[in-house]
Amino acid sequence: MQINEILTLERTLFGVPGGSKKRVLEYFSKFIAQKDPNIDAEEVFSRLIARERLGSTGIGDGIALPHCRISNCTEAVGTFIRLKDKIDFDAIDGQPVDLIFLLLVPEEANEAHLQTLALLAERFSDENLRKELRKTDQVEQLYQLICTPSSV
């Protein structure tokens, strides 16, 4: 699977106010439910919060990969958010987060879910990519940077 199969330009967001982990997850839940009438914002939010209780999805270097399985989700759906200000996300390295890739997958998509998370973790482990994502203020460029491994 390629990132451009789960992320669209419309779901690439820049300058989103952070505030707190809970507020960002709530913002995303409402945002994604507005884009897909089959997805319930409350279900997304509660499942993301439940997943965070198992352990933070803040993977370090200012990156978080919140994810969960959702009913009525027919395919993996990703949203990238570059926050206006960094927030505490209980990341494994203790650093605040400003780059967030949220992932929803169908409830039965166990293997695909894990493969997609591995792909995202590998992609965001690229220090040059993280630097470029933080430098640009163009949504189109953010999208291209994330989706095109050779672009950085």
Catalytic site positions: 67
Q: Are 68 and 52 in contact (CB under 8 A)?
A: no
What residue type is 88 in one-letter code? Answer: D
Region of residue 142 (phi > 0: left; psi between -120 and 50: alpha; otherwise: beta): alpha
Number of CB atoms found within 10 A of residue 124's CB: 22
Bridge-based pairing of strands 63-64 and 97-106 is parallel
C-alpha–C-alpha distance, residues 19 and 38, integer Å: 28
